[in-house]
Amino acid sequence: MELRTPKGRPVLTVDQVAGDIYLDAWSGQRDAAVEKFGMSDQQAHEARRVYRQYAASVGDYFAENRDDIAAYFGSLDRFEQAKAAGGDNAAYRKKRNWDDQQLLRAEANAWLGELDAMGEQYRLALGDVLDAEQKAKGVVPTGLTRSDLMDFAVTWSLTAIGFCMIIGLCNRLACLGGAGFLVAVLLTQPPWPLIYPPAPDVVGHALIVDKNFVEMMAMLALACLPVGRWGGLDAFLYRWFGWPLMKRFGFSCDE
């Protein structure tokens, strides 16, 4: 089943959208459940049947919403063309483009929300395949998408960076890591004039230099100083490892 824009460009197939994202995640979720709970052959067969049932439901869902989705991609094409055409760059045009973009996002999120709800029902259906002893081992693992893995990596990376800065462990590397993250934030959300939408009032008014820029410069300054040795665990690392190594290789340094 394929959908095309009014100009004939293929924009959506069940395999491309549901298969590459939802169905692949559900398939991995099923395999993880089979391995985690040590399902019998009969249970594994039932888990595959549940997967096929929900995969068919996804296909039916896209078939039922075919016209609406095709209309959505047509609207998306027109929005992208209007945005690429530019114009006088007036404030009202920026606001209109932003409002149109939010409407398109809301429309897509409605479909994605229904698919996410279907995924939760699928997870519960896999749980019904388990016996009482297997259920005692925990819940069916949630299928992780690429976005989920990225969120996990960013969350724990920032946690590790903050923890290392607090205790002064590998402080310079931690400061460089934090500064690198803030550079990415500034590149995606630059505090420049004439960008719409403006920053919310709770963030405060800024012109080029905002709180993220100040924090980035502060981290770069800390990365240039041995603050971890002044009041952190880096003092012990330097005493036990850094200073002896520097002395061994002939570097001049004070103890």
Where are the chain's structural domains?
Answer: 2-142, 147-248
Res 246 pLDDT > 80:
no
Which tens digit of pLDDT belongs to each residue from 136-183?
998 888 866 777 888 999 999 999 999 999 999 999 999 999 999 999
Rg (Cα) of the chain, in Å, rounded? 26
Which tens digit of pLDDT belongs to each residue from 210-242?
889 999 999 999 999 998 888 888 888 888 877
> Computed from CA positions of residues 238, 220, 218, 212, in that sequence, does the dihedral angle turn out positive or negative?
negative
Q: What's the CA dihedral at 175, 177, 181, 182 to 10 degrees?
A: 20
Q: What is the pLDDT of residue 254?
A: 55
pLDDT (mean) for 183-206: 80
63/7: higher pLDDT? 63
Q: Which residues contact 253 (CB under 8 A, 6 or more apart)?
A: 243, 246, 247
d(CA 226, CA 218): 14
Tell me what percent of the residues of the chain surpass a pLDDT of 70: 87
Of 2-16, 106-120, 194-208, the least confident: 2-16
Mean pLDDT of the chain: 84
Res 22 pLDDT > 70:
yes
N- to C-terminal Cα separation, the chain = 72
Res 18 pLDDT > 50:
no
Q: Phi-psi category of 214—alpha, beta or left, where left has phi over 0 and alpha has psi -120 to 50?
A: alpha
Q: What is the pLDDT of residue 253?
A: 55
30/84: higher pLDDT? 30
d(CA 213, CA 179): 9
